[in-house]
């Protein structure tokens, strides 16, 4: 007899294990299926994404601080970098969190299967484990099978010279002395920043005319300047020719050209942040015809959705031509009782968006009345140095949508705490509707902006105005003062600038 559940979730990443907990809190009997080796839950984010990358970036920041402590009166002599130890710590953090997620499943009485999940019928799911097959009957299904690295034809990953983000965060031994980073979305710039702090020679190759191309253009410009000042080479409007890739004894060679020339290669990924890219603009490249050489090439051009094992043909679930599962604002697919959440439904390919979408889906299937998903409330975060964060619309996007816009820009150099921390570069922007005063978006580059942005998201959620943010008393000295100052600047009366 098949086991019976109220909900079967396929995929144990953020869009899977988080809603599993919420569904259990709502009284549902829940099964969670995860195919990853070792049965590790947490998906891309915990195993090969957010967590291991940020653990390595923390080492990179510390290394940078240790080398630059003299200004603060801290002399540490010659600073040594022990990569295997950094990798060991990365794994310790990942393992501790894996155990935590496992414990949460137990606490919430979620039945976890380690195997591949697929549809037999819309309400019958097969799990293939190493011990055989099992069928689960269910009222509801949540598909949260996420995404995987993708590459360009001709740039197959070998894990050594042609590498992916997965390869970097599972390498315990070494890192390249020089690297070409193909693509400058969140993944590309985070690894570029990290490697440069490790002492690696870094060249970024970006097809579009600016790096972090989904961010406000002034942020792209500011980040490019910061990177170039640090010694990272940044080639925008530049296309690498995969056919020219040559593996040598020492690494790789690849020829680049202006992005305007020839046909464009497209990746399968979409969405913002840790997802895919946009169309090129055809601007000239300073490196047209140059052959770049490095020990490795990191291909960070996007990701693809994972749906191949699901046997979706027996359902009415619809995919678009990029493999994105089509859902409404509650995560409902075209098949009755079948929902989807996370990277597999497109939108912003971010862990917190994935978890939130999953919660909305299970609350909706449980008959609650959740607020529908609003992509404008998703904070987009990039943890390079300096950090980048934003949500909602840029000024240009808001104007395109017909808003009459007011915008502020407030610099970190006017914030005491930024000077104290030795990070005076960067700025905070607030975009608001001139007619209603409602906040439309925020865009920031500088110290800890990935934390600071949340205050703005909350203000937008509760339909707050810049005046109210400006009236909020921020502790002094703190970096958060920049939120209040930028809010007052929208009204034309910042205090410290
Ligand atoms: C290098 C990198 C860094 C990142 N850093 C950040 C960050 O700092 N902040 C942030 O918000 N986001 C970050 N992201 C993005 C984030 O990891 C994803 O948005 C998030 O993991 C999406 O969660 P998900 O549950 O939708 O999918 P996934 O995390 O991909 O999980 C899907 C799971 O489903 C399993 N699965 C697939 N098919 C089946 C099947 N048929 N049966 C059983 N199991 C199946 C997979 O094994 C996987 O574990 C990063 C991504 C990368 C690659």
* Residue from 35, 49, 185, 385 whose mutation best tests the ligand 1 pocket (most atoms within 8 A of CB): 49
Whether the CB of 350 sits within 6 Å of ligand 1: yes
Q: What is the pLDDT of residues 113-160, one digit of tens each?
A: 999 999 999 999 999 999 999 999 999 999 999 999 999 999 999 999
Give whole-number Cα distances, 255 to 205, 239, 293, in Å. 11, 9, 9
| Residues with a known catalytic role | 476
Please give the CATH number for the structural domain made up of 386-490. 3.30.390.30
pLDDT at 287: 86
Please give the CATH number for the structural domain made up of 3-146+306-375. 3.50.50.60
Alpha carbons 311 and 366: distance in angstroms, whole number: 25
Give the residue range(s) of CATH 3.50.50.60 domains in the chain.
Answer: 3-146+306-375, 162-303
**Cβ atoms of 339 and 327 closer than 8 Å:** yes
Alpha carbons 476 and 129: distance in angstroms, whole number: 56
- The alpha-helical segments, DSSP class H, found in 42-182 are 43-48, 50-67, 83-107, 165-169
**Cβ atoms of 221 and 267 closer than 8 Å:** no
- Of 259-273, 309-323, 456-470, give the lowest mean pLDDT range: 259-273
Q: How many CA atoms lie within 13 A of 200 on its CB side?
A: 25
Average pLDDT over residues 220-228: 98
Average pLDDT over residues 447-456: 98
**Which residue did the predictor score with more confidence, 265 or 445?**
445
Average pLDDT over residues 248-263: 85
Whether the CB of 127 sits within 6 Å of ligand 1: no
Alpha carbons 184 and 161: distance in angstroms, whole number: 19
**What band does 276 get if pLDDT is binned at 50, 70 and 90?**
low
Alpha carbons 470 and 97: distance in angstroms, whole number: 37
Does residue 282 have a pLDDT over 70?
no
CATH of range 162-303; options 3.50.50.60, 3.30.930.10, 1.10.1060.10, 1.10.3720.10: 3.50.50.60
Give the residue range(s) of CATH 3.30.390.30 domains in the chain.
Answer: 386-490
**What band does 288 get if pLDDT is binned at 50, 70 and 90?**
confident
Cα(23) to centroid(ligand 1), Å: 20
Kindly give the number of the ligand 1 atom that is closest to the alpha carbon of 50: 5
Q: What is the pLDDT of residues 362-392, one digit of tens each?
A: 999 999 999 999 999 999 999 999 999 999 9
Q: What is the pLDDT of residues 85-119, one digit of tens each?
A: 999 999 999 999 999 999 999 999 999 999 999 99
Does residue 245 have a pLDDT over 50?
yes
Q: What is the pLDDT of residues 415-436, one digit of tens each?
A: 999 999 999 999 999 999 999 9
**Cβ atoms of 150 and 342 closer than 8 Å:** no
């Amino acid at each position: 007899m098949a086991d019976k559940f109220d909900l079967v979730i396929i995929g144990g990443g953020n869009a899977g294990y988080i809603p599993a907990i919420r569904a259990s809190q709502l009284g549902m009997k829940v099964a969670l299926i995860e195919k990853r080796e070792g049965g590790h839950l947490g998906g891309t984010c915990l195993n090969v994404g957010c967590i291991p990358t940020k653990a390595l970036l923390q080492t990179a920041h510390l290394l940078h601080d240790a080398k630059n402590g003299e200004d603060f009166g801290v002399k540490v002599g010659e600073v040594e970098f022990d990569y295997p130890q950094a990798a060991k710590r990365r794994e310790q953090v990942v393992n501790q969190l894996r155990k935590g997620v496992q414990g949460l499943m137990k606490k919430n009485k979620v039945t976890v299967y380690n195997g591949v999940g697929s549809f037999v019928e819309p309400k019958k799911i097969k799990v293939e484990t190493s011990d055989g097959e099992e069928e689960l009957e269910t009222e509801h299904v949540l598909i949260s099978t996420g995404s995987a690295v993708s590459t360009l034809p001709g740039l197959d990953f070998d894990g050594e010279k042609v590498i992916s983000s997965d390869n970097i965060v599972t390498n315990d031994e070494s890192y390249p002395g020089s690297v070409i980073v193909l693509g400058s979305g969140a993944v590309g710039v985070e690894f570029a920043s990290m490697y440069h702090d490790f002492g690696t020679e870094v060249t970024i190759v970006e097809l579009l005319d600016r790096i972090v191309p989904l961010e406000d253009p002034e942020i792209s410009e500011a980040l490019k300047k910061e990177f170039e000042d640090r010694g990272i080479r940044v080639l925008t409007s530049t296309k690498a020719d995969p056919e020219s890739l040559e593996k040598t004894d020492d690494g790789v060679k690849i020829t680049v050209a202006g992005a305007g020339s020839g046909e464009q290669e497209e990746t399968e990924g979409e969405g913002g942040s840790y997802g895919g890219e946009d169309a090129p603009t055809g601007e000239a490249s300073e490196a047209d015809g140059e052959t770049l050489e490095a020990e490795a090439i990191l291909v960070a051009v996007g990701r693809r959705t994972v749906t191949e094992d699901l046997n979706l043909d027996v359902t009415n679930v619809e995919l678009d031509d990029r493999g994105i599962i089509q859902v409404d604002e509650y995560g409902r697919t075209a098949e009755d009782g079948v929902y989807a959440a996370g990277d597999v439904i497109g939108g912003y390919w971010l862990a917190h968006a994935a978890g939130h979408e999953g919660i909305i889906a299970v609350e909706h299937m449980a008959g609650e009345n959740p607020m529908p998903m609003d992509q404008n409330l998703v904070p987009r975060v990039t943890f390079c140095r300096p950090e980048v964060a934003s949500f909602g619309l840029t000024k240009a996007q808001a104007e395109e949508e017909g808003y009459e816009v007011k915008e502020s820009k407030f610099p970190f150099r006017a914030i005491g705490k930024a000077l104290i921390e030795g990070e005076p570069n960067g700025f905070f922007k607030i975009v608001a509707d001139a007619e209603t005063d409602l906040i439309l978006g925020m865009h920031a580059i500088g110290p800890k902006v990935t934390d600071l942005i949340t205050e703005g998201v909350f203000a937008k959620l509760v339909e707050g105005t810049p005046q109210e943010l400006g009236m909020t008393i921020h502790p002094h000295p703190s970096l958060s003062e920049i939120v209040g100052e930028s809010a007052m600047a929208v009204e034309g009366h910042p205090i410290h600038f």
